[in-house]
Structure 1
């Protein structure tokens, strides 16, 4: 164990993880910490940069009211739910691993209760961990709030978000839309605005103001009695802490970021931190090349074929982890013929009648949201008869079925806990 090898055109390792998102990264880190040589291959950019950056454990369980104690609710989940497969202690252990890796980038590890974080749509979302940059905006704090949007960032309507938020929280919320300092293209991405704040680019040449001070000066005109200020999550990338601190110094009140949709700066920051840890643990990471086939013998996968453009290269391993995502990440495919898992053709339980895939009412509990591979307690995918597809394959994250991540607000927690257990089980089978 512990040595990555390249033999001729073949690639060899102890554990091969397919998928570079939160589940795949967690599985790879856990396996590497156990002494295995680990290689992670990913076809496309992972979904972290499209996610809010919030780490949800379990926000809802069938009702309209958010859960306060998510761990207590796990016992009430159906038997096929991934949390029931790995157990509540694995969920706690995976969050402890996350806290260690994320370090000062995140908060929330001091308690097992959910926090309520405002969203860019003006709602509050129950979450288990949240970026430090969002901490001052939690709804459990009661300071009157000013939300600031920018004309150039059309995805965040601050006055509308403030109106919605104000109707559901015990503090006053106002919203304003202003012009971001400087001249930018109308279609400038938020990453460009974050870069301007990172570098504190000179924007007001007459007064010699950098972007940070110029922004604070514009916000100060609308501050009034507000005791904290929220911005869309674009307050820098590499220098996000310095940007936020500079704005707080100028404005004299706490500043926070409101989690956004793609492209998500908090998601990108988390991605950077995870991949730094993968590198530190000696995991070999390859991206941009899809897995297009596999070979198996006597119920065990012996290798997968990776498309490297002009040739397919076999990647051999003793243990494999499938963490390719769900319907959104294309780890689960759907067509008129049915729903399938495209890498190993693992069985995906589904009603034969297409009309049973969904309910007519959009916001009903939709069956298709739970589509994914079914697994045993060791996270080995099961065939249609309930037997493991392969003895040395485990699945983790959104490729799993049996839960509705969007409705439950459980995506990150499932990815972390199943990724952790998949990495552990793969390592145990190497012994």
Structure 2
């Protein structure tokens, strides 16, 4: 049986959900098709706009370069990402949506997350320590990380857990010190209180803090039971040396994070913050939950668990439906408009082999050299062309063919499937996803209105 919507979004990451939410708020009937769990579950939860200028030649940059007026060196972190957008190369997605498009996308983000995030009060990037001891420039960050900003001069104790091996607190503290932060950082590794299995998932530890379960803790020659939050504070207290703030890996509850932080602060007599982690990421899961709730409140429908494997055209050459593989059959999902938000090389929204680089659903053109050796730089940390692989678009984010014409009038692209930027080097992934997702969703919804 054919299923029809006004707008179908392919991909359930932040770009896809932003596109869906933007289209639904314009009155469109929207469906999201998503094969696997959102990549937000692996993301830090930090929302970057532009942390560093792109490593591209001067002749690729736009006019009015901000580098002369910037408060940072060309290779250093950007103080104001919005000031740098007009100087980006013409091919960058931010040049398509414009500064106002980025700002409006962040306004949408702020509405979705409410008081769970900070950073909306300023255009300037915040400097947030990560679990490896690096300092990351970012535009929005969880409220749970706010007390840990690297620009704060209060001394900090970082606390790691023996079973959470991704966060080596003493090593992270040493890295922060070597980075020249304006505070003294120390690290300590402790056992998470309670009789949890050595291989317990971080979600299990977070649940224990959410529920404030009673756990066993050993004292001086005795064992007693305490609520988990108090037990954790008692475990940390012997390691404090007057630090004004204490940082934990980002596992302080899945749902009651602010209550957990408040109880720890009361017990420790110090500000408490979370350090963003790699996958699995609780801040990323919390962010995913906020977007899912906003989408569902707006009437967006989700169909998950099966891949989109192809499409059907109508007589005019527009896309009439995408086909989803389910139990050996392919099911058509019809719509007036489509948004492609399947991710880049990492998310398999862009694929490659020895024959070339392709976009696998609509077979959209992906510009690349025919010589595979041109895809890489000699330096392992150099400016690799493959990092910018993706579809090119027109001003309405419609993918372009090799001749520079729209592949389809009713398909738009958003997020990491777009080419022309290196999100990992620039620290711009979430910002591009939000800005292009919002623009693509609104544009798709406006075309539905036109056809009615």
Aligned with residue 126 of structure 1, among 137, 153, 161: 137
The reply on whether 1:170 has 2:162 as its aligned counterpart is no
Give the corresponding residue for 1:382.
Answer: 400
Matches within 5 A, 1:391-430: 391-430=409-448
**CA–CA separation in structure 2 for the residues paired with 1:248 and 1:423:** 42
Give the corresponding residue for 2:126.
Answer: 115
Q: How many corresponding residue pairs?
A: 423
Give the corresponding residue for 2:28.
Answer: 36
For structure 1, which segment, 75-84 or 309-318, has the greater mean C-alpha deviation from structure 2 after superposition?
A: 309-318
Deviation readout 1:342-387 (Å, 9 max, x if unpaired)? 1111010001110000012111111100000111111000001111
Give the corresponding residue for 2:264.
Answer: 247
Q: Is contact 2:195–2:216 with CA below 8 Å preserved after alignment?
A: no
**CA–CA separation in structure 1 for the residues paired with 2:108 and 2:139:** 14
The reply on whether 1:204 has 2:223 as its aligned counterpart is no
Give the corresponding residue for 1:81.
Answer: 92
> Unaligned regions of 5+ residues in structure 2, if any?
56-73, 218-222
Deviation readout 1:147-189 (Å, 9 max, x if unpaired)? 0001001110000000010122011000010111012222222
Deviation readout 1:22-78 (Å, 9 max, x if unpaired)? 000000000000011000110111100000000000000044310001001001110
**CA–CA separation in structure 2 for the residues paired with 1:362 and 1:260:** 24
Q: Aligned-pair distance for 1:240?
A: 1.2
Q: Is contact 1:147–1:174 with CA below 8 Å preserved after alignment?
A: yes
Aligned with residue 168 of structure 2, among 153, 157, 168: 157
**CA–CA separation in structure 2 for the residues paired with 1:94 and 1:308:** 34
Aligned with residue 105 of structure 1, among 103, 110, 116: 116
**CA–CA separation in structure 2 for the residues paired with 1:164 and 1:293:** 47
For structure 1, which segment, 389-398 or 161-170, has the greater mean C-alpha deviation from structure 2 after superposition?
A: 161-170
**CA–CA separation in structure 1 for the residues paired with 2:303 and 2:286:** 19
TM-score (norm 2): 0.92
**CA–CA separation in structure 1 for the residues paired with 2:260 and 2:279:** 21
What SS class does the counterpart of residue 250 from structure 1 fall into?
A: helix
Matches within 5 A, 1:16-415: 16-61=8-53, 62=55, 63-167=74-178, 168-204=180-216, 206-297=223-314, 298-415=316-433
What SS class does the counterpart of residue 31 from structure 2 fall into?
A: strand
What SS class does the counterpart of residue 234 from structure 1 fall into?
A: coil
Q: Is contact 1:299–1:389 with CA below 8 Å preserved after alignment?
A: no
Q: Is contact 1:43–1:287 with CA below 8 Å preserved after alignment?
A: yes
Q: Is contact 2:5–2:336 with CA below 8 Å preserved after alignment?
A: yes
Q: Is contact 1:40–1:285 with CA below 8 Å preserved after alignment?
A: yes
RMSD: 0.9
Q: Aligned-pair distance for 1:131?
A: 0.3
What SS class does the counterpart of residue 60 from structure 1 fall into?
A: coil
Q: Is contact 1:23–1:415 with CA below 8 Å preserved after alignment?
A: yes
**CA–CA separation in structure 1 for the residues paired with 2:422 and 2:298:** 32
**CA–CA separation in structure 2 for the residues paired with 1:334 and 1:210:** 52
Q: Aligned-pair distance for 1:341?
A: 0.6
Q: Aligned-pair distance for 1:241?
A: 1.2
What SS class does the counterpart of residue 392 from structure 2 fall into?
A: coil
Q: Is contact 2:152–2:182 with CA below 8 Å preserved after alignment?
A: no
TM-score (norm 1): 0.97
